[in-house]
Amino acid sequence: GMSMNLLQLENKNIVVMGVANERSIAWGVAKRLLEVGANVIFTYRKERSKGKIEKQIANYTEHKTAIVECDVNSDDSIAQAFETIGNEFNVIHGIVHSVAFAHAEDLRNRFVETSREGYAFAQDTSAYSLIAVAKAAKPYMTEGGSIVTMSYLGAERVLEGYNVMGVAKAALEASMRYLAADIGADNIRVNAISAGAIRTLAAKGVPSFNQILHKIEETAPLKRNTNQEEVADMTIVMLSHLSRGVTGETIYIDSGYNIMG
Ligand code: NAD
């Protein structure tokens, strides 16, 4: 249909990193990508996630898909994953970076207690990984492309219980901008989606998540929380031809919560 022509995602090769289960933000994006005719290459860290991805994509047999292991804490794993993807698909048109991790104690404890190791680990997994992935994918992004990463309001505001992850998201958003400035000359765009709170596996690590959801519902202009589908739809826009003039931006999909005092 016309909407698919506008998107120009049909038969494009998009790497989706970070599907752990059907609740993952990345799974919402992958589902939509398959619906608009893209080829989706999934990367996973844990074997358990691989099984869940296989189960989910069984309903989409008419599409070209692949599932590749990639631990973003390891340069070797990233290099190997993108070599495998490049050999099979030749060209990469887009990447969804939907990966983050911090030690539970660094979210639970007072911020002043943050350990050197916990800080470095959160940065490595949640911010540096975007740069490492862009570097590994770039040789295959020969037709230009779009990279989208997932951020959160805790990058800019102090949100209770977000702690070391907020600092990692601040670094992620800054890295996104520096990458956008650097690889824009290669016709590769880089943007961040700042998603509202959604109940996923990663969200389980954030204390008082229920209270956060409740506060958003009361305060946000739209008087409700966002969901996986809304975040997926804007991610599709940012991957597509529709957003071809946009790079280096953080886009909020949060019912407008971020504008409120
Ligand atoms: P999720 O737990 O489903 O996804 C997180 C993913 O990160 C998992 O698939 C996990 O395997 C992966 N991961 C962690 N360490 C990794 C590593 N070393 N190598 C490879 N993969 C690794 O949770 P989600 O909520 O879908 O999170 C996806 C992204 O969205 C994260 O960046 C998260 O911070 C961000 N985000 C989430 C929310 C929310 O409320 N859920 C809001 C804003 C932003």
pLDDT level of residue 204 (50, 70, 90 thresholds): confident
pLDDT level of residue 238 (50, 70, 90 thresholds): very high
152 catalytic residue (yes or no): yes
Q: Where is pLDDT greater, at 2 or 117?
A: 117
pLDDT confidence of residue 206: 82
In angstroms, what is the span from residue 151 Cα to ligand 1's centroid?
10
**pLDDT over 90 at 172, yes or no:** yes
**pLDDT over 60 at 2, yes or no:** no
Least confident of 66-70, 80-84, 203-207, 212-216: 203-207
In angstroms, what is the span from residue 258 Cα to ligand 1's centroid?
21
Ligand 1 pocket test: pick from 27, 45, 212 the residue with the most ligand atoms within 8 Å of its Cβ: 45
**pLDDT over 90 at 220, yes or no:** yes
- Distances in Å between the Cα of 42 and the Cα atoms of 11, 30, 84 are 15, 8, 12
In angstroms, what is the span from residue 72 Cα to ligand 1's centroid?
12
pLDDT confidence of residue 62: 82
Q: What is the 3-state secondary structure (H, E, C) of 69-114?
A: ECCCCCHHHHHHHHHHHHHHHCCCCEEEECCCCCCHHHHHCCHHHC
Options 44, 60, 140, 162, the catalytic residue: 162
140 catalytic residue (yes or no): no
Mean of per-residue pLDDT scores for the chain? 96
For residue 152, the ligand 1 atom closest to its alpha carbon is: 43
* Ligand 1 pocket residues where CB is under 6 Å: 18-20, 24-26, 45-46, 49, 70-73, 98-101, 125, 150-152, 195, 197-198, 200-203
pLDDT confidence of residue 63: 83
| pTM, to two decimals | 0.98
What is the rounded CA–CA span in Å between residue 225 and residue 213?
7
For residue 23, the ligand 1 atom closest to its alpha carbon is: 3
pLDDT in tens, 11-62: 999 999 999 999 999 999 999 999 999 999 999 999 999 999 999 999 888 8
As a whole-number percent, the residues of the chain with pLDDT over 90 amount to: 92
Q: What is the mean pLDDT of residues 195-218?
A: 92
Single-letter amino acid code for the residue at 162: Y
